[in-house]
C-alpha cells in the first residue's frame, strides 16, 4: 500500500511507511483483535451450533438441506453487501473517519437481526433471518478489515495479520463453546451472541479512535469507469487478486464443510448421544482454538522476519487438507480430535499470514475497503458454501464423504495461491 497523497506531510488517513512507523501499532492491534473476536465468535457459535439446533427443532427431517439453502442465499447477500459497504466506506468522509460509522451501525443492525432470527418458527424464517444478519454483519467486516491496510506499515503486516488471526482463533474456539453451552436453552444462546456482536462496534471504535477524514479528497463518480472502480469487481492489474480470492475461498470451504456440521457429525456420523455431544463439541472447539492461537503467535512475526507471504499460506493449506481428511478413516471420536489438532495448526498458520497476503495483492490502494471486502467475501462465501458442499457430500454418500471433499478443496486452494506471481 502506498500513500494516497503526494504532499510531504503525512495525513491522518494515509498508510504509514516503514520509516514513519518505527514501532508495532499496539492500539490498532488491540482494537482489531477485540473487534474481530466479538463478531466472529458469535457468528461461529450461531452457524456452528445455535442455528443448527434451531433448524433441528423446526425441521429435523430435512435439516441438512435447510442449512444448505440458508447458506446459498446468504452467500449471495454477502457478495453484494461486501462490495456495497466496502465501497461506501472507502468514500465516507466524516469527523469519525471512514470506517467507524459503518462498524457502529453494523453492530447495532446485527444485534437486532440476531434477536429477530431467534424467533423464527419455520425454515423460511431461518433463511430470511440469516440473510438479514449477514447483510449487517458485512457492514462490520468490510470496514474493519481495511483498518489493517489503513494503519499498518508493510514491515508489520505479517505480525498484525497474526494478531488478527489470534482474535479469529479465539473466536473459533470460544464461539461454538458458548453456543454448545446453551444447546438446551437455545433462545438464550441467540441473545448472548447478539449482545456480544452489539458491543463489537463501539469497543473497536473507541480503541481504534479513527481520525477525521472530512478533509480527505474524494473522487467524483461521473461515469461508469469511476463507478465500477468503486463498486464493481476490479478488472485492472488484478491477476494476483483473483488467485488469492479463489484460493482463500477453496481453503475456507474445507474448514467450514466440517465446522458447519460439527454437531451433526457427532450425532449422525459418530453416533454420540446426550451430554457427550456437548462435551465433544466444546473439546473440539478448544483444541482448534489453542493450536490456532499458538500458530498465530509464531507464524505472523516469522513471516515478517523472513519477508514471505505466499509460501506460509500454501503450507497451511496442505496441513489443513491433511487434518480434514483424518476423520474419514474412523467413526470414533479420536478422528475428530486428530482433525482438531492438525487442522488447528493449519488454520492458525493460514489466518496469521493471509491478511498480509491480501494487502499485498490489492490492485488499487484507493479502494482498499471494497477490495479487501471482496477478499473477505471469499472468506464469508467459503464459510457459507462449506455447508453446501457438506450437504451435497452427505446426500451423495453419507457423512463420511464430507472429509475427502474438504481435503480436495484445501489442496485446490493451495494450488491457486501457488500461482500468485511476484510475492514470496
* 265-274, 320-329, 349-358: range with highest mean pLDDT: 320-329
What H or E segment, with its residue span, contains residue 253?
helix 239-259
Global confidence as pTM: 0.76
Query: How many Cβ atoms sit within 10 Å of the Cβ of residue 178?
Result: 23
Determine if residue 271 is left, alpha or beta; phi over 0 gives left, psi from -120 to 50 gives alpha, anything else beta: left
Domain boundaries along the sequence of the chain = 26-418
Instruction: Count CB neighbours of 391 within 10 A.
Output: 24
pLDDT above 90: residue 181:
no
Count of CB atoms within 10 A of residue 237's CB?
11
Q: Give the distance from CA 241 to its chain's centroid.
A: 17
| The predicted structure's pLDDT at residue 225 | 64
Measured CA to CA, the distance from residue 204 to residue 38 in angstroms comes to 9
| Among 188-197, 225-234, 401-410, 411-420, the least confident range | 225-234
pLDDT, tens digit, 9 for 90 and up, residues 109-132:
999 999 999 999 999 999 999 999
C-alpha cell at 412: 485446490
Residue 5: band (very low, low, confident or very high) from pLDDT cuts 50, 70, 90: very low
Question: What is the distance in angstroms between the CA of the first residue and the CA of the last residue of the chain?
Answer: 17
Give the pLDDT confidence score for residue 381 in this predicted structure.
78
Mean local confidence (pLDDT), 35-47? 91
Give the model's confidence band at 226: pLDDT under 50 very low, under 70 low, under 90 confident, else very high: low
**Of 380, 46, 35, 36, nearest to 193 (Cα)?**
46
Higher pLDDT, 194 or 330: 194
What is the torsional sign of CA 317, 380, 169, 51? negative
- Compute the CA torsion angle 386, 376, 33, 418 (nearest 10 deg): 80
Nearest to 72 by CA among 405, 380, 411, 397: 380
The CB density around residue 360, as the number of other CB atoms within 10 Å, is: 19
Residues recorded for the chain: 424
Nearest partner of 65 among 137, 128, 134, 124, judged by Cα: 124
Phi, psi of 339, deg, nearest 5: -55, -45
Residue 149 C-alpha from the chain's centroid? 16
Check: CB of residue 224 under 8 Å from CB of residue 345: no
- Residue whose cell numbers read 467475501: 377
What whole-number distance in Å separates Cα of residue 366 and Cα of residue 403? 40
Question: What's the CA gap between 181 and 167, in Å, rounded?
Answer: 21
Between CA 274 and CA 291 the distance in angstroms is 27
Give the CATH number of domain 26-418.
Answer: 1.20.1250.20
Q: What are the tens digits of pLDDT across the range 317-344?
A: 999 999 999 999 988 999 999 999 999 9
What is the model's pLDDT at position 232? 72
Which cell goes with 272?
A: 454420540
User: Per-residue confidence at 6, pLDDT binned at 50, 70, 90?
Assistant: very low
- Is the pLDDT at 183 greater than 70? The verdict is yes
Residue among 345, 4, 265 nearest 149 (CA): 4
Q: Report the percent of the chain where pLDDT is more than 70.
A: 94
Helix (H) or strand (E) holding 163: helix 157-181
Residue 102: pLDDT band with limits 50, 70, 90: very high
Chain segment 244-256, per-residue pLDDT in tens:
999 999 999 999 8
Amino acid at each position: 500500500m502506498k500513500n494516497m497523497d503526494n504532499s510531504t506531510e503525512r495525513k491522518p488517513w494515509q498508510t504509514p511507511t516503514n520509516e514513519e512507523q518505527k514501532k508495532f501499532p499496539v492500539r490498532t492491534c488491540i482494537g482489531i483483535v477485540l473487534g474481530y473476536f466479538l463478531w466472529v465468535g458469535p457468528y461461529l457459535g450461531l452457524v456452528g451450533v445455535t442455528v443448527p439446533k434451531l433448524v433441528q427443532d423446526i425441521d429435523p427431517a430435512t435439516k441438512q438441506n435447510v442449512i444448505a439453502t440458508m447458506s446459498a442465499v446468504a452467500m449471495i447477500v454477502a457478495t453484494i453487501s461486501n462490495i456495497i459497504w466496502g465501497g461506501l466506506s472507502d468514500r465516507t468522509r466524516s469527523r469519525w473517519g471512514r470506517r467507524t460509522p459503518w462498524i457502529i451501525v453494523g453492530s447495532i443492525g446485527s444485534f437486532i437481526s440476531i434477536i429477530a432470527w431467534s424467533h423464527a418458527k419455520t425454515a423460511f424464517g431461518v433463511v430470511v433471518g440469516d440473510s438479514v444478519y449477514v447483510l449487517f454483519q458485512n457492514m462490520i467486516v468490510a470496514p474493519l478489515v481495511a483498518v489493517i491496510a489503513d494503519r499498518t506499515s508493510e514491515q508489520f503486516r505479517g505480525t498484525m495479520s497474526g494478531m488478527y488471526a489470534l482474535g479469529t482463533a479465539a473466536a473459533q474456539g470460544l464461539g461454538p463453546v458458548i453456543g454448545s453451552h446453551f444447546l438446551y436453552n437455545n433462545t438464550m444462546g441467540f441473545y448472548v451472541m447478539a449482545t456480544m456482536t452489539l458491543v463489537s462496534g463501539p469497543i473497536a471504535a473507541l480503541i481504534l479512535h479513527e481520525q477525521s477524514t472530512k478533509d480527505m479528497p474524494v473522487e467524483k463518480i461521473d461515469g461508469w469507469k469511476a463507478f465500477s472502480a468503486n463498486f464493481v469487481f476490479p478488472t485492472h492489474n488484478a491477476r494476483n487478486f483473483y488467485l488469492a480470492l479463489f484460493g482463500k475461498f477453496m481453503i475456507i470451504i474445507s474448514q467450514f464443510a466440517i465446522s458447519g456440521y460439527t454437531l451433526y457429525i457427532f450425532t449422525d456420523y459418530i453416533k454420540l448421544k446426550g451430554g457427550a455431544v456437548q462435551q465433544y463439541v466444546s473439546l473440539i472447539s478448544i483444541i482448534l482454538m489453542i493450536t490456532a492461537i499458538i500458530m498465530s503467535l509464531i507464524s505472523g512475526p516469522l513471516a515478517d522476519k523472513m519477508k514471505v507471504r505466499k509460501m506460509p499460506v500454501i503450507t497451511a493449506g496442505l496441513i489443513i487438507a491433511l487434518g480434514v481428511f483424518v476423520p474419514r478413516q474412523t467413526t470414533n471420536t479420536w478422528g475428530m480430535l486428530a482433525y482438531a489438532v492438525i487442522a488447528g495448526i493449519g488454520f492458525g498458520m493460514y489466518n496469521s499470514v493471509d491478511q498480509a497476503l491480501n494487502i499485498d495483492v490489492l490492485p488499487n490502494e484507493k479502494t482498499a475497503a471494497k477490495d479487501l471486502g471482496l477478499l473477505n467475501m471469499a472468506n464469508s462465501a467459503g464459510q457459507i458454501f462449506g455447508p453446501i458442499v457438506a450437504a451435497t457430500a452427505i446426500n451423495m454418500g453419507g457423512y463420511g464423504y464430507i472429509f475427502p471433499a474438504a481435503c480436495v478443496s484445501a489442496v485446490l486452494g493451495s494450488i491457486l495461491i501457488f500461482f500468485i506471481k511476484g510475492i514470496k
